[in-house]
Structure 1
């Protein structure tokens, strides 16, 4: 019996070099901060706002290419940077990460830890697997503040960057490879770690899900995918007919199909613009607000019979995040004025680069799928049954975790040949 795989992974790396900083920890008295019962829900809300802003920024940077990344991975890596930052760097990161003015670091850190423990406890390998890991790899000669050692001990690991930069690079790459089940390899390029490197912030995320309703392998056939009005190519399409959540959103300008994974906590949502709308994908991304996304995933619309045809594909993408994050307003994160005084009293730490690599495989067994209807008109009345959802031109797809309102992975499928 043929074994098929579906997986999505994302990894974010931030390299740090040495310059100058000031000094501070969290607060004069961390224990004076009152517990905020809404901290965890606030964390998810902030993360979603950041996610959609990041998606739009990436699409603007590569408007004609396939996109696949893990906003969850990016956010959590930057969150570690925020915990380590001070002064203006902390302020800029707080704004970029959409952290509310009323949320202090103590409560945010506690929310982060509760979420981490909850994910470790609830990861049901019988239904799906989602693994997320964060690390601050620090040079062993860096003098770390005791507060972060106490609070983030599991996330901190020392390496000998100064004397063994290449060995340190291989160690981090092996860590990433292990977390992502050997799907993301050689993340940090040769010479990516130097003897002046002081800190690498890393996050690795891995997801493997099985469709709640698998696509029969014998129905997979090659058919035309319309890359544009003037270019088309043949790709294998998976096919099935079943009861799915399907709707039309006038606000987003898209047909929307939900493909749940086994366990029903995580689903893939495919957002398909009209074939006649040349900028349909970009319009969807630009109009995708937290409120509109919530309306899509929380709407209790009835299931209906739908004929579904979506491409079978594998995509691996490497994103140069430094320019993207600068566009999003991360402040002086990559400048010599960067302040990481919460991490160390040593003369400063500056981020040299930010790298994100993600991979997805979609097949009959499960995980990421995309779909679009060839000819489509918006209407509010119930369409004739069965509805037909054929993803044979560019579309947006989102892997969404319902219990935490988190977007784990997202992308745009534009061109099978890229």
Structure 2
């Protein structure tokens, strides 16, 4: 399987999905902070695709930009074993990537589907009593998500999201905690103004440092790269390299145009330049901490994922018996959390899919990087280019 090609396609999906979510509010002045984990969304929906056929399967594969056939599921298997494995015991970062599957106890999973989700996604099927205890099962699933994300994602599935028609819930949970290679000194953090899109300002704490930084000027914006401490021993040594990138428009109100211009080629170019440190002049980066939750199903449908949510959905590879023809995807819930501070970054994401039965050279001169107005950020694994989190900060003072 061409893993690099698939990951490049995943960058395209991340951008497509982000633009739909961020563009739901056309008034840029009212746009808020945004956060999503594209790989979490991809994984949860791809698990549903393991039981799909025909147009339903083809739409899932096409919208998620995944390869055909077995390679679609092999991709996640490789991610789990090579990129998203935990490095806490060998120097960092701390990573947890888990998949879960709950099926109504009156239904019988097809052995082929059960083997596929267990073998490729690591998801053990659990029997659930959605028919009589839907709210109790919702609480159990939410607890699984909370445990998997170390308490950062609570109540992924909202009240009344499950009922006696629920057939299956597929969930992905992703947790990341990394320490900067060059941590900021808390005593140097000072409050400064941050310029909002409506022309007002808020005072927020800014981290700063006199260390050299990996930063580069582009025509209309600057990009800062902050790498995390990597595992230095054991099986994970030197195989991965995680960083967070901050893409800052030159203009204080330039975020909307930056989002409009950004495409896969541009993003890849911005994140793949030679990582050489340069002297910085004025350097300030705001601390921020917030969560975001939304129905990913709406954005997925806007991108063309129609058949899985329709009465004509074909998930007949999932379960045995007459109910196999009645399955459809009802909702996909997504929730994320991120905190960026002097020590590093803690981030988490979870996605739940609910199945229902239908009734250039670096300059030597110092570069300023003052993130005092809205910017984009990306957390990714650099050697493969896999994006874990993608977001926008329009107001660092908002703790949502």
Interval of TM-score (by shorter of Structure 1 and Structure 2): 0.7 to 0.9
2:191 maps to 1:228: no
1:367 to 341, 345, 368: 345
Identify the residue that residue 114 of structure 1 maps to in structure 2: 78
Q: 2-side partners of 1:167 and 1:229: how far apart? A: 44
After TM superposition, list the pairs within 5 Å mapping 1:178-217 onto structure 2.
178-217=147-186
The offset of 1:261, in angstroms, is 0.9
Distance 2:117 2:304 in 1: 26
Alignment correspondent of 2:108: 143
Q: Which residue of 2 aligns with 1:356?
A: 334
Q: For residues 282-329 of structure 1, what are the alpha-carbon distances to aligned partners after superposition, in whole Å with 9 as ceiling and x for unaligned?
A: 332233322222222221153101242111111111122222111111
Q: Equivalent residue for 1:320?
A: 295
Residue of structure 1 aligned with 2:225, choices 258, 262, 265: 258
Compare 382-391 and 321-330 and name the one that shifted more.
382-391
Q: Is the 8 A contact 2:177 2:346 kept in 1?
A: no
- Relative to the length of structure 1, the TM-score reads 0.82
Q: 1:122 to 1:168 in 2, by over 3 A?
A: closer
Q: Who is 1:401 aligned against?
A: 381
Task: Name the CA distance, whole Å, in 2 between partners of 1:123 and 1:363.
Answer: 20
User: What are the within-5 Å matches in structure 2 for residues 280-359 of structure 1?
Assistant: 280-306=254-280, 307-345=282-320, 346-359=324-337
Shift of residue 347, structure 1, vs aligned partner: 3.1
Change (3 A) 1:195 1:129: same
Gaps of 5+ in 1: 1-36, 370-379
Which is worse superposed, 389-398 or 117-126?
117-126
Report the counterpart of residue 247 of structure 2 in structure 1: 271
Q: Distance in 1 between matches of 2:95 and 2:380?
A: 12
SS at match of 1:215: coil
Residues 156-167 of structure 1 aligned to structure 2 (within 5 Å): 156-167=125-136
Aligned position for 2:117: 152
Of residues 320-329 and 121-130 in structure 1, the stretch that sits farther from structure 2 once superposed is: 121-130
1:136–1:199 contact (8 Å) kept in structure 2: yes
TM-superposition CA deviations, 1:321-364 (whole Å, max 9, x none): 22211111111222222211121242321222221111111111
What's the offset of the Cα at 1:122? 6.0
Higher relative contact order (CA 8 A, sep 6+): 1
Q: Which range moves more in the overlay, 227-236 or 167-176? A: 227-236
1:245–1:284 CA distance, 2 compared to 1 (3 A)? same
Show the counterpart of 1:18: none
Segments of 5+ residues of structure 2 without an aligned counterpart are 231-239, 348-359
Question: Secondary structure of the residue that 1:415 maps to in structure 2?
Answer: coil
Are the counterparts in 1 of residues 314 and 325 from structure 2 also a CA contact under 8 Å?
no
Query: 1: CA distance between counterparts of 2:267 and 2:250?
Result: 19
**Structure 1 SS opposite 2:383:** coil
Q: CA deviation at 1:382?
A: 6.2
SS in structure 1 of the partner of residue 305 of structure 2: coil
Q: Is the 8 Å Cα contact of residues 176 and 185 (structure 1) preserved in structure 2? A: yes
Report the Cα distance in structure 1 between the residues aligned to 2:382 and 2:361, rounded to whole angstroms: 27
Match in the other structure for 1:58: 21
- Let me know the Cα RMSD of the aligned residues: 2.1
CA distance in 1, matches of 2:42, 2:165: 26
SS in 2 for 1:164: helix
Specify the SS of the correspondent of 2:126: strand
Deviation of the 1:43 alpha carbon: 3.0
Q: Tell me, yes or no, if the aligned pair for 1:61 and 1:324 is still in contact at 8 Å.
A: no
Tell me how far 1:215 sits from its aligned partner.
0.7
Matching residue within 110, 133, 142 for 2:98: 133
Aligned length in residues: 364
Question: Are the equivalent residues in 1 in contact too, given 2:279–2:364 (CA < 8 A)?
Answer: no
Q: Which residue of 2 aligns with 1:392?
A: 372
What displacement does 1:57 show?
1.1
CA distance in 2, matches of 1:321, 1:132: 19
**Shift of residue 113 of structure 1?**
1.7
Distance 2:102 2:9 in 1: 26
